Structure 1
Amino acid sequence: MSPQPTAPIGLGAAFFRATLYILLIAALLQGIYYEALYLPARRSFAEQGFTELCQSIVLAASALLLCTPPARRELPTVSLLLLALIVASLIREQDYYLDKHIFDGAWQLLVTLTLLPCLSFVLWRRQRFVNEFEAYSNSFSFGLFASGFLVTYVFSRLYGRSEMWMAILEDHYQRTFKEAAEEITELLGYSLILIAIIELVLLARRWQQARSTP
């Protein structure tokens, strides 16, 4: 049985969740500010910095939420595809450590081993995936996920181009500006994805409740 849409989110619940999401974004940016203020050695936004650590934590939290019962039961193929993408991104964020402590190119191999089985399963259950996607694509969660995906994988890459920052800053160019622009924007995108996954789980719970109501 494919998921069915339910009544829209109540105004009170929407306001409460929006407040929490605003506080989350504000806390992350405040952490970045304190990193630049009190940890000058981390200002290059390197792998050991606060921003990179937060990216990994946000991705790990998103992956764990996709493994919860509501997501797995109501949207098994959609959740699996999203999980594969998020885990692949999490592996990619550890490229420095994987290349250094395992072997050069280790993260590419792990990403491939993560994506191929999941994509194969989704293709095998493609009709189930289409049914789930038709229900999910009309949700608030999907809009947030699409926004996070575009910010992370498109905008941050283009926004963080060295050529653009060289043109903007001219003789004052420093690589730190480019790294900060790209990494902070990437963290914003991952945060939007996390919020989208939270909304997906809540949506799945509403579907479960709707089915259990006579």
Structure 2
Amino acid sequence: VMLLALLFVGMNGSYYIHAIYNLPNETLIEWLQSLALLITIVIFVLMYRKLEDERSGLALIAGFFGSMFFREQDVYLNTETFPGWEICALFVLAAVFYIVYRRGIGEAVHGLAKFVSSGAFPLMAAGIAMLLVYSRLYGSGYLWSNIIIDTNDEMHELLHKAKRMSEESTELLGYVLMMLSAFFYRYLRREDIKKLKSNKKNP
């Protein structure tokens, strides 16, 4: 339901924004990608605060998505002389590695193992594969070159826009799958979080 709602909002919202503000059609889809990433990060950060014996692993996961989030903001952060998103991502990774160093690699392995062995991981793996493998292959110039090469300028522009929209939509699907995986993992760990909270109240 959430996936369908996001896709519906993206398709309709992009039409109205393009019509009113003359923005590129894929702009809203990119915003939805960032929103899905941000929600994913927030979920893992909140779990980081609650699952104390898995913090290093959860920090690595949140840091991974944090770096991806800044990568998506390259249009806003980067200039010709300033690699903004790379610097932001480096700060995130530095903070994550500091946490892992302070708390120990064993805790990181434990936290990652918990997530990988959970029922939420296949959904996450599918989302990452969709984003980092399929969408890259789908958007490769080699795949589209035979379609676009023998067209006039107007058709070339239309096909290029169609390529961009379909590629961005594929990436959005990957981000939504990852977000749903984060929600599902939080749901799966709800009893563990309740127990830890109860133990703190009644030591």
**What TM-score bracket applies, with the shorter chain setting the length?**
0.7 to 0.9
Higher relative contact order (CA 8 A, sep 6+): 1
TM-score by length of 1: 0.75
Q: Within 2, Cα distance between the matches of 1:63 and 1:167? A: 39
Is 2:83 the partner of 1:98?
no
**CA deviations over 1:72-110 (Å, ceiling 9, x no partner):** 33231221111111111111111111124x953111111
Tell me: CA distance 1:157–1:205, structure 2 relative to 1, closer, same or farther (3 Å): same
Residue 30 of structure 1 corresponds to 8
Residue 41 of structure 2 corresponds to 63
Q: Within 2, Cα distance between the matches of 1:151 and 1:29? A: 16
Is 2:109 the partner of 1:133?
no
Is 2:191 the partner of 1:206?
yes
TM-score by length of 2: 0.79
Shift of 1:44: 4.4
Give the 5 Å matches for 1:1-214. 23-35=1-13, 37-38=15-16, 39=18, 41-45=22-26, 49-68=27-46, 70-74=47-51, 75-100=54-79, 104-122=82-100, 125-170=104-149, 171=151, 172-173=155-156, 174-209=159-194
Aligned residues: 186
Q: In the alignment, is the contact (CA less than 8 A) between 2:14 and 2:29 conserved in 1?
A: no
The amino acid of 1:196's aligned partner reads S
Q: Secondary structure at the match of 2:120?
A: helix
Shift of 1:71: 4.2
Q: In the alignment, is the contact (CA less than 8 A) between 1:98 and 1:107 conserved in 2?
A: yes
Q: Within 2, Cα distance between the matches of 1:169 and 1:36? A: 24
Q: In the alignment, is the contact (CA less than 8 A) between 1:71 and 1:201 conserved in 2?
A: no
The amino acid of 1:87's aligned partner reads G
RMSD (Å), alpha carbons: 2.5
More displaced, 88-97 or 156-165? 156-165
Q: In the alignment, is the contact (CA less than 8 A) between 1:159 and 1:181 conserved in 2?
A: no
Q: Within 2, Cα distance between the matches of 1:189 and 1:123? A: 31
Shift of 1:191: 0.7
